[in-house]
Homo-oligomer: A and B are copies of this chain.
Amino acid sequence: MSATIKDIAKEIGLSTAAVSKALNGKGGVSTETREEIMKIAKRMGYTRNTMAASLVTKTTKTIGVFLLSRNRENVRGNISMEILGAIMEEADVRGYDIVLYTANNDLRNGKTYVELCKSRKIDAVIFLGLKLDDPHISELIEIDIPVAAFDTFIENSNINMIETDNNAGIEMALDYLWSLGHRKIGMLNGYRKAQVSQRRHEVFKNYMTKKGIYNEKLVYEGDYTKKSGYVEAQKMTESRNLPTAIFAASDMMALGAIEYFVEKGIRVPEEISVVGYDDVIMSEYSTTKLTTIGQDVLRIGKELVRCVLEKQKGKIIKVEPRFIIRNSCAVMKQE
């Protein structure tokens, strides 16, 4: 039971008003009494009750972070976790605390995102892993708290979106493959209904078409998991129309594909080059270190916090990717 300003006021024989002002560094108090108050506060072990304060100030210095689509495969090595780290750092710098919510399948106690935030009087909200087909997405559109989401854009809403610039990243990767002499380039995409997948495919198609080498048949669809990368690589191989290079929409799929190729004695990168997306930790630690389009998680976290604390609305913020060249691509071999 720590002391309150009332206790301090009584102790020093002043009003709570004076104590409050002194403790918050506001004017209206002589430096003399301020110092006295600070001293007593320290001695009595005073800690401010932010709950009580927020009741009158209407602000809690709190950012709500929703960590969604967090299934078991995901939680380990998920980029959301890395972004969360960056968010924590930035929030810390700005003097904000973080309330962390999860919502695997059903929302907690039947409460909605908005209710959760309102009941804690949260100042701003960040979504990680929000899906377009989330059944509770509609309520977010009307929310009057600043909200930002990573990688998910909701039209006609106030929700800010931060994403890695797909255009820039994919073009860098394809330029690279092109420069290595590859002309028969396949794509290993994520599931079609996901927004990112659509956008990435679009960029890929545009680029390839411009170069005059787009081939619909070389586009395969997985679901971002390693397993699906493995499966699609098998299909590719069995189609007897294997490209010389593959652009995968996620590192995990890239790694899965590589695993299949290696098992079948198809050497990477000597016989087939593979580019990934994300720069998850495994891409650096796997045997064939992955060349990949890296997402700048630090920047993403920072931007997420910044835009929401600056009360921006409906902005689209693109973060520059970092193209990371490792060992999974090689000059196209002479046939």
Stretch from A113-121, A232-240, A320-328 that touches the partner: A113-121
Smallest CB-CB separation from A252: which chain B residue?
B285
A55 to B51 CA separation, bound complex (whole angstroms):
7
- Against B, the Cβ 8 Å flags (1 = close, 0 = not) of A54-97 are 11000010000101001000011100011011001100100101
**When the two chains form their complex, are residues B102 and A89 in contact, meaning their CB atoms are under 8 A apart?**
yes
Smallest CB-CB separation from A76: which chain B residue?
B281
A241 to B261 CA separation, bound complex (whole angstroms):
37
Among B67, B76, B100, B262, the residue within 8 A (CB) of A99 is: B100
- Against B, the Cβ 8 Å flags (1 = close, 0 = not) of A37-55 are 0000000000111111011
Chain B contacts for A98, CB-based, 8 A: 99-101
- Against B, the Cβ 8 Å flags (1 = close, 0 = not) of A154-176 are 00000000000000000000000
* Residues of chain A from 270 to 312 with CB closer than 8 A to chain B in the complex: 280-282, 285-288
**When the two chains form their complex, are residues B226 and A285 in contact, meaning their CB atoms are under 8 A apart?**
yes
A287 to B67 CA separation, bound complex (whole angstroms):
30
Closest 6 CB pairs of A and B: A287-B287, A76-B281, A75-B85, A47-B118, A88-B102, A77-B281
Question: 14 A-B residue contacts at CB 8 Å?
Answer: A48-B119, A50-B119, A75-B82, A76-B280, A81-B85, A88-B100, A95-B109, A97-B100, A97-B101, A99-B100, A226-B285, A281-B282, A282-B285, A287-B288
**When the two chains form their complex, are residues B108 and A92 in contact, meaning their CB atoms are under 8 A apart?**
yes
Check: A126 CB closer than 8 A to any chain B CB: no
**When the two chains form their complex, are residues A99 and B102 in contact, meaning their CB atoms are under 8 A apart?**
no
Chain B proximity of A64: nearest CB distance (Å): 9
Chain B contacts for A77, CB-based, 8 A: 76-77, 281-282
Chain B contacts for A118, CB-based, 8 A: 2, 47
Chain B proximity of A289: nearest CB distance (Å): 11
- Against B, the Cβ 8 Å flags (1 = close, 0 = not) of A8-40 are 000000000000000000000000000000000
A118 to B50 CA separation, bound complex (whole angstroms):
9
Chain B contacts for A95, CB-based, 8 A: 108-109
**When the two chains form their complex, are residues A51 and B286 in contact, meaning their CB atoms are under 8 A apart?**
no
Check: A206 CB closer than 8 A to any chain B CB: no
